[in-house]
């Protein structure tokens, strides 16, 4: 015992005589508190001394588990406390990837295979002396609060430098147009009124998307680019919600996801209480009933020799590749000219759900939907009115067709609009969780958004003399 004490005392003396540690921090210099603690920590041997040899990551600390918060918020049992709101444990692999997203996953996994990753373990020897050791750590090994991970200094040279992605360049006029789409903004979310014809995400044949425009024009005071949390069809207009931080985006994505999974698993009675959506559509024809609920599973089929695909109602009883889909509808007003305004409330969020349910279940395809209502459009005659006043089209940003497309056009635009969304106040919720992991949300505010109709639907509204907004405000 005395021999061990002499060895530890000698190690401490050598450590105190040496210059201050110069451990390279991945995200900045060590704090003053950590520097002071370094003088009271003795390393077991020279191989454990990380000075000049290792790149150290920030100590592990619990973070907000946004996915768990979203699920608890969606299916809480009436309790006003959000439980399990922090992620109190993680693995060494996940912590490295979280702290250093620039490192490829395969490179980090290689470091673990070569046993080049270390974890600092502090062993108390007495009330005044601690012995610190660097031990090899496995990729799936759990970390405790305060644990530090050390990587070889060479990892900075081995990691490929990320290619600089050129941001979409906008003119001043285009930038103003994108900013004019913003209906609401707080530190956590941005809500847009997406125009008809603009894709939400890039892909084949897509020149401009909301995703890249948000990164260019809508960062505002944030270093992060806004993130998509749900989708709208390219030709669908209306409310689109984006998360301004990774945590807010994960929380919102969880809420939208649980909306679908909750309705599919438990039915309407236990459906999510923190998210409500309403769409407005102008359809060809009139449903037999004034209101109802559509519960028809959907599946994807490949057509044109594999060149394209479409969604259809699965009526053959097969469960393979089937997605449960539920939509509530209500007739707002019928026109004697053969058109009907419908209010649609999706309880699930499947691809093309509203368009397929209207066309195949109700037998009333949405005006301008040539994919699922092409037969109805073949026999359709453009609506003729004395109020039709042809106007000369004016140039629109990003080549969008902002003129015409109403019920009097030979080829009308899709008349489907995301009109209303009710959400919990995400910014307020995150502020509460920062103060306390188990927060009382009984006084959490709700946010309600309403998007005005696009030009082509407003023109159709005027031509058909509808009173959709005055009758129910949607």
- DSSP assignment string, 259-287: HHHHHHHH-GGG--SS-EEEEEEEEES--
Backbone angles phi, psi at 166, to 5 degrees: -70, 125
Q: Is residue 472 flagged as an active site residue?
A: no
**Domains 165-271 and 274-420+453-472 in one fold:** yes
Q: What is the mean pLDDT of residues 368-393?
A: 78
Give the pLDDT band of residue 363 (cuts 50, 70, 90).
very high
Average pLDDT taken over every residue of the chain: 79
Q: In the structure, what pLDDT confidence band is assigned to residue 351 with cuts at 50, 70 and 90?
A: very high
Return all residues near 179 (Cβ < 8 A) that are at least 6 apart.
Answer: 217, 218
Structural contact between residues 26 and 108, judged by C-beta atoms closer than 8 angstroms: no
pLDDT at residue 336, rounded to an integer? 86
pLDDT tens sequence across 245-270 = 888 998 898 888 877 766 655 555 44
- pLDDT for the residue numbered 40: 35
Average pLDDT for 330-344: 93
pLDDT (average), residues 148-174: 75
Domain 274-420+453-472 falls under CATH 3.60.70: no
Give the lowest-confidence range in 241-250, 404-413, 426-435: 426-435
Query: What whole-number distance in Å separates Cα of residue 104 and Cα of residue 106?
Result: 5
Coil, helix or strand for 144? Answer: coil
Least confident of 139-148, 337-346, 381-390: 381-390
pLDDT number for residue 272:
46
pLDDT confidence band for 471 (50 / 70 / 90): very low
Domain boundaries, the chain: 54-158, 165-271, 274-420+453-472
pLDDT surpassing 70 at residue 27: no
Asked whether residue 224 carries a pLDDT value surpassing 80, the answer given is yes
pLDDT in tens, 299-321: 998 887 777 889 999 877 665 67
List, in sequence order, every beta strand (DSSP E) within 14-129.
Answer: 24-25, 41-43, 54-56, 63-64, 81-82, 86-87, 118-124
| Confidence class for position 133, pLDDT limits 50, 70, 90 | confident
**What is the model's pLDDT at position 80?**
53
Reported pTM? 0.73
Catalytic choice (65, 147, 233, 369): 233
At residue 318, the pLDDT reads: 63
What is the band of 19 on the pLDDT scale with cuts at 50, 70, 90?
very low
Of residues 10 and 185, the one with the higher pLDDT is 185
pLDDT of residue 55: 87
Write out the H or E segment, with its range, that includes residue 410.
Answer: none
Fold exhibited by the domain 165-271: Pseudouridine synthase (3.30.2350)
pLDDT at 396 over 70: yes
What residues pair up with 277 in beta bridges, in sequence order? 421
> What is the share, in percent, of the chain residues with pLDDT greater than 90?
40
How far is C-alpha 291 from the geometric centre of its chain's CA atoms? 32
Task: Show the 3-state SS of 358-392.
Answer: HHHHCCCCECCCCCCCHHHHHCCCCCCCCCCCCCC
Quick one: average pLDDT of 72-76? 64
Calpha distance 472→419 (Å, rounded): 13
């Amino acid at each position: 015992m005395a021999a061990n004490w002499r060895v530890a005392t000698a190690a401490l003396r050598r450590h105190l005589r040496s210059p201050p540690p110069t451990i390279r921090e991945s995200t900045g210099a060590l704090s003053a508190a950590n520097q002071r603690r370094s003088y009271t920590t003795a390393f077991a041997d020279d191989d454990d001394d990380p000075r000049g040899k290792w790149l150290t990551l920030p100590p592990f600390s619990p973070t907000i588990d946004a996915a768990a918060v979203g699920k608890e918020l969606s299916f809480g049992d009436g309790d006003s406390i959000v439980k399990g709101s922090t992620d109190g444990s993680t693995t060494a692999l996940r912590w490295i990837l979280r702290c250093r997203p620039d490192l490829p996953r395969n490179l980090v996994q290689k470091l673990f295979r070569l046993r080049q990753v270390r974890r600092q373990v502090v062993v108390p020897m007495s009330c005044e002396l601690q012995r610190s050791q660097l031990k090899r750590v496995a990729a799936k090994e759990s970390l405790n609060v305060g644990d530090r991970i050390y990587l070889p200094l060479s990892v900075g040279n081995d990691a490929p430098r990320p290619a600089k992605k050129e941001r979409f360049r906008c003119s001043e006029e285009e930038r103003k147009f994108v900013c004019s789409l913003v209906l609401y903004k707080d530190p956590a979310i941005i809500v847009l009124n997406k125009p008809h014809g603009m894709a939400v995400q890039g892909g084949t044949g897509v020149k401009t998307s909301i995703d890249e425009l948000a990164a260019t024009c809508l960062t505002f005071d944030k270093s992060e680019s806004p993130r998509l949390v749900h989708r709208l069809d390219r030709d669908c207009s209306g409310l689109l919600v984006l998360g301004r931080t990774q945590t807010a985006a994960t929380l919102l994505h969880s809420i939208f996801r649980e909306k679908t999974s909750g309705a599919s698993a438990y039915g309407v009675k236990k459906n999510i209480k923190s998210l409500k959506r309403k769409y407005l559509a102008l359809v060809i024809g009139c449903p037999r009933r004034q209101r109802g609920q559509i519960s028809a599973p959907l599946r994807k089929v490949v057509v044109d020799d594999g060149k394209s695909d479409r969604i259809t109602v699965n009526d053959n009883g097969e469960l393979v590749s089937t997605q449960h889909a539920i939509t509530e509808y209500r007739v707002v007003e019928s026109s004697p000219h053969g058109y009907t305004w419908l209010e649609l409330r999706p309880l699930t969020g499947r691809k093309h759900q509203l368009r397929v349910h209207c066309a195949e279940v109700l037998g009333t395809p949405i005006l301008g939907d040539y994919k699922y209502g092409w037969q109805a459009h073949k026999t359709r005659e453009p609506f003729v009115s004395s109020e039709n006043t042809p106007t000369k089209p004016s140039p629109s940003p990003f080549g969008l067709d902002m003129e015409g497309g109403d019920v009097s056009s030979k080829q009308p635009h899709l008349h489907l609009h995301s009109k209303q969304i009710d959400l919990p106040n995400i910014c307020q919720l995150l502020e509460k969780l920062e103060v306390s992991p188990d927060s009382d949300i009984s006084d959490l505010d709700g946010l309600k958004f309403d998007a005005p109709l696009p030009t082509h639907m407003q023109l159709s509204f005027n031509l058909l003399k509808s009173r959709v907004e005055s009758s129910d405000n949607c």
